[in-house]
Structure 1
Amino acid sequence: MGVRYLEAKVDSMIMDVIECHETEMVDPLIPNLMGNGEEEDDIFAIQVSYFNCGGIAIGTYVPHKIADEVSFFSFMTSWAAISHQHDNMINILKPSFPSSSLFPPNEKHDCNPLSEVWKETLVTRRFFFTQAVNLRSRMVPPLSEHAIGNLVVLAYAYCSYEYSNDLTMMRRKVREGIRRLDDEYIRRVRGD
């Protein structure tokens, strides 16, 4: 199918969006592929929005099943460089696409790390950190930072109840959880 391309006319000035700190102002500038509540099969979408003042905004959308943040910014950097240096293509990043060969798609996807370990009812206290771990540098040999794909995973840290108020112990457990995401872990996941 290719890339979905949309154009929109915005009945305001671009500075209205730039100066506003409400995220709701930006949402209409990004292609919406969740019309019926389910993500469509597009691999990439672009929306060019034209403002009354003559300014334009380019909004893009890539589903997580295709790419993570590192991939997205690598792609956008390459696209901007190609647009800017159309005559001089020497220094343009050349992304690679190793993800599907490293982690083939799997219909059965169980993300619960405790699914078989715990059979009893537990009372938990949950602290949520957005610390997704980039697998590119943790592989042997390491992948290029410009490798395209969703190559991040969440790190899990478990701290027993008696240590729940001990920040030093919690910090240690978080570091251990991140440290476990090494090449051996990646090879096990690839085997699944």
Structure 2
Amino acid sequence: MDETMIMEVQIISKESIKPSSPTPNHLRTFKLSLLDQLIPAPYAPIVLFYPNYDGANHLEVSQRLAVLKQSLSETLTRFYPLAGTIKDDLSIDCCDEGAYYATAQVNCDLSHFLNKPELQLIHKFLPCEANFQGSTAGTRVTNIQVNVFGCGGITIGICISHKIVDGDGLSTFLKGWAGTACGSEVVYPHIMATSLFPTNDLWLRDSSIVMWGSLFKMGKCITRRFVFDASAVATLKAKATSSSVPNPTRVEAVSAFIWKYVMAAAKEKSGTKRPSLLTHLVNLRKRMAPTLFENSLGSLIWIASSKCMAKCDVGLQALVDQVRQGISKINGDFVKKLRSNEGSTVMSKSLKDMGDFGSKEGVDFFGFTSWCNFGFYEADFGWGKPIWVSCTGSGGLGSAVYMNLIVMLETVSGNGIEAWVTLDEQEMEILGSNQELLGLASLDPSPLQLLGNSAI
């Protein structure tokens, strides 16, 4: 394919994949949990890239597509809320409308795209636009687009409502779908978030919209990938180790390292060192007492925050300490408070404090979330594991309304971290030329380079 040719993704079919068995009448209305109101974005989009490892021919690829549909139908029976439609902000109509399912053809080989992926084109592989406009009544909970490249490679783009899944929940669904497709594992989700955090009103939605809205920025943003291989992660963990944090995690070390340099970029642009707010979404499943069952479905997350004032130490160890302190506050006692009679007070104060500080004139905000350890690279539908897993930037690439957002995923090896960073264009230009940062991170490397072999 000529380098000057534009990649085209043509939809060739649209259909509904309904559950293989009807949902019982007593499960027709699914009540959402209180925490399902926390995230305003309608979807957490993800795209999985699968090479044609074994050189399957056209007929064999068609058979793979048929397996995807049949296994999805069977999976939706067990994950029955995902086969419904949004009824309102408090419930899902489990009407068995099914998943929206599109099949598309791509006019190039997968290796051509992966050799130098243009991030602004990834949305073409998704069934929905990634933005901050809320899901409306009647929209499908689950939306999928399967894209077939000329070489027989496949990408699967998934947008499931953030009202019912977070990153861990998305992983559970993928594990269930892939396990059904290849016959390796039948996953039954534990649908319990509503019983843990019941609700009958929308106060948290309204509070979170105010908080997140105060942190939105106007202007032109850009998303780029900073990839830390296993040795870089090990180096950062060693440099981040201190008496206060003797065992920093890789997510803490990389988060603090990126925070250090996005603050530096903001300082260079504005001409002055400014206070900074970092937030991290925290998975509550293992912080409850007792911990939740594996494969618990729902949006079971809360927001940790850390502050770095204008005169704070911006050394890596000091910043790791700040990140650790913020995350460690979201512990078993905190979750117990969330579920108690004082839960609404605790949540309201937490959101107000973050919104009030982060929206002050001269304060920079950076939102982090980690999708590491969710097993996305293990999603094998019967023809091999994905070669690359991607997300999209804040508010959609090129959006005029965005957040400073950093999403971290594992690399295909499982040992490195790939950080998708969305910033103001000018700040990104500064960040992308910082030689100290680039001494440990590769900027927008080809996913093929991360394999260490010629897998496709």
Q: Please say whether Structure 1 and Structure 2 have the same fold, judged by a TM-score greater than 0.5.
A: yes
Contact map agreement 2:166 2:299 (CA 8 A) in 1: yes
Contact map agreement 1:3 1:45 (CA 8 A) in 2: yes
Residue 50 in 1 paired to residue 148 in 2?
yes
Residue 152 in 1 paired to residue 301 in 2?
yes
Equivalence for 1:125: 275
Query: Number of residues paired by the alignment?
Result: 178
- Does the C-alpha gap of structure 1 residues 188 and 55 become closer, same or farther in structure 2, counting only changes over 3 Å? same
Equivalence for 2:313: 165
**CA distance, structure 1, for counterparts of residue 300 and residue 134 of structure 2:** 23
Residue 28 in 1 paired to residue 124 in 2?
yes
| Percent identity over paired residues | 27
Of 303, 328, 344, which aligns to 1:179? 328
What is the aligned-residue RMSD (CA, Å)? 3.1
**CA distance, structure 2, for counterparts of residue 16 and residue 186 of structure 1:** 47
Partner-residue secondary structure (3-state), 2:189: coil
Equivalence for 1:4: 100
C-alpha deviations, 1:54-75, integer Å up to 9, x for none? 3332211123222111111121
Question: Displacement, 1:166?
Answer: 5.8
Higher relative contact order (CA 8 A, sep 6+): 2
Equivalence for 2:351: none
Equivalence for 1:62: 160
**CA distance, structure 2, for counterparts of residue 170 and residue 52 of structure 1:** 47
Gaps of 5+ in 2: 1-96, 212-273, 345-456
C-alpha deviations, 1:145-172, integer Å up to 9, x for none? 311111122211245665x126455543
**TM-score with structure 1 setting the length:** 0.76
Contact map agreement 1:99 1:149 (CA 8 A) in 2: yes
- Does the C-alpha gap of structure 1 residues 166 and 157 become closer, same or farther in structure 2, counting only changes over 3 Å? same
**CA distance, structure 2, for counterparts of residue 82 and residue 28 of structure 1:** 27
Equivalence for 1:119: none
Contact map agreement 2:277 2:306 (CA 8 A) in 1: no
Residue 93 in 1 paired to residue 93 in 2?
no
**CA distance, structure 2, for counterparts of residue 158 and residue 29 of structure 1:** 37
Contact map agreement 1:8 1:47 (CA 8 A) in 2: yes
**CA distance, structure 2, for counterparts of residue 44 and residue 101 of structure 1:** 22
Equivalence for 2:169: 71
**CA distance, structure 1, for counterparts of residue 302 and residue 122 of structure 2:** 27
Gaps of 5+ in 1: 113-123
Partner-residue secondary structure (3-state), 1:66: coil
